[in-house]
Amino acid sequence: MGKTYKIAVLGGDGTGPEVTREAVKVLEVAARKFGFTLQLNAYDWGGDRYLKTGEVLPANAAEEMLRHDAILLGAIGHPEVKPGILEKGILLALRFALDQYINLRPVRLYPGVECPLKGKGPKDIDYVVVRENSGDVYTGAGGIMMKGSPHEVAMQNMVYTRAQVDRCLRWAFNYTRKYGKKARGVGAHNTLALVGKTNVLTFVFDLWERAFHEMGAREFPDIKRDYYHVDATCMWMVKSPEWFDVLVTANLFGDIITDLAAITQGGLGIAAGGNINPEGVSMFEPMGGSAPKYTGKNVINPLAAICAGMMMLEHLGEQQAAQAINAAVSDVCATKVKSLAAGKMGYGTQEVGDLVAERV
């Protein structure tokens, strides 16, 4: 008998529920084929519920999530709710409450997907960003003083503890050992590169850099270490993405560079990520937003949500099922969808879900 997994499904706002439905469709086909069971519990957390009840998240939300093996999230963001309320109150609140301290963002260009970088193909765009997900300016440390006066002061502090940095780096080194380019048979080394700003942020990235080299030399001598400034990283992501293997970086830089990375892999229609607590409950999501203007039109691309589902299965240990979804997505990109953009796929949202499900 295969295992049973309890999955919390948070469709969220806008097109979130419709892309999540397609991801669930594909996951259920994979479960039948590979002999495991998904027990799905849906939650209506999002903008509509907030507008109706005035509550962003119920008080027992984290407890509720802790009764699951993983979380599948659609998208958060509602046009009638002031920006920040739902993002902070739902997405960031869950990341923090569940201590999902790793944000894993694979950057892979599938065959057949149009890449905005001239002369680059799937062989060139094949790396991973490990974004620290619990510290940095996201902690909310800081404040506004003398608000409204000419002397108003605003501060938002970049905060890291050694323990936070160490746990992220250790996870990134282990990930590199297991999934780096050498481990996957596509390169001579497994390389972990720290992305920072040691030339200006001489406190926070001094800590990161020392921790990185100390840990690497002591515990991971088999892994090649590199360091890049974040601004230069942006340039190379466009010019020479084939240089990269695994990148590790702080929360804000990771947020920014993974949007740039996403566009090089075909955009937010395909990019997915995992908010991981290696010892707890992790949450998988498409990187794109709720795209409210496309809600209910059956035009939004569900592939990113399907890829989030695939990452979830990988995380749960269902490697074969994850590989089958990966192969199916790859084939649908190569032979079916004309473009990854909403309304330009040549198929509707549900049809793209069907195409992937048939291939699994």
Binding test (CB under 6 A) with ligand IPM, winner from 91, 158, 304, 311: 91
Restricting to residues 296-325, name those near ligand IPM by CB under 6 A: none
The option from Mn ion, ligand IPM, none interacting with 183 (CB < 5 to 8 A, set by class) reads none
**Least distance to Mn ion, CB of residue 256, Å:** 7
Task: List the structure tokens of 98.
Answer: 């569940």
Q: Which residue is nearest to Mn ion (CB)?
A: 255
Binding ligand IPM by CB under 6 A: which of 255, 272, 302, 311? 255
Number of residues located near ligand IPM, criterion CB under 6 A: 4
CB of 141 to ligand IPM, least distance (A): 16
Residue 190 or 275: which CB sits closer to Mn ion? 275
The one of Mn ion, ligand IPM, none whose footprint includes residue 124, by CB under 5 to 8 A per kind, is none
Least Cβ distance, residue 287 to Mn ion (angstroms):
7
In this chain, which of 42, 92, 159, 201 binds ligand IPM, going by CB under 6 A?
92
By beta-carbon proximity to ligand IPM, the closer residue of 92 and 117 is 92
Minimum CB–partner distance for residue 197 and ligand IPM (Å): 18
- List the interface residues with Mn ion, window 205-264 (CB under 5 A): 255
Nearer to Mn ion, 289 or 292 (CB): 289
Closer Cβ to ligand IPM, 48 or 87, answer by number? 87
For the chain, what is the HEC assignment?
Answer: CCCEEEEEEEEECCCHHHHHHHHHHHHHHHHHHHCCEEEEEEECCCHHHHHHHCCCCCCCHHHHHHCCCEEEEEECCCCCCCCCHHHHHHHHHHHHHCCCCEEEEEEECCCCCCCCCCCCCCCCCEEEEEEECCCHHHHCCEEEECCCCCCCEEEECCCCCHHHHHHHHHHHHHHHHHHCCCCCCCCCCCEEEEEECCCCCCCHHHHHHHHHHHHHHHHCCCCEEEEEEHHHHHHHHHHCHHHCCEEEECHHHHHHHHHHHHHHCCCCCCCEEEEECCCCCEEEEECCCCCHHHCCCCCCCCHHHHHHHHHHHHHHCCHHHHHHHHHHHHHHHHHCCCCCCCCCCCCCHHHHHHHHHHHC
Which among 84-92, 156-164, 216-224, 333-341 is the span making contact with ligand IPM, rule CB under 6 A?
Answer: 84-92
Q: Is 87 in the site for ligand IPM (CB under 6 A)?
A: yes
Q: Identify which of residues 216 and 269 has a Cβ nearer to Mn ion in the complex.
A: 269
Chain residues binding ligand IPM by CB under 6 A are 87, 91-92, 255
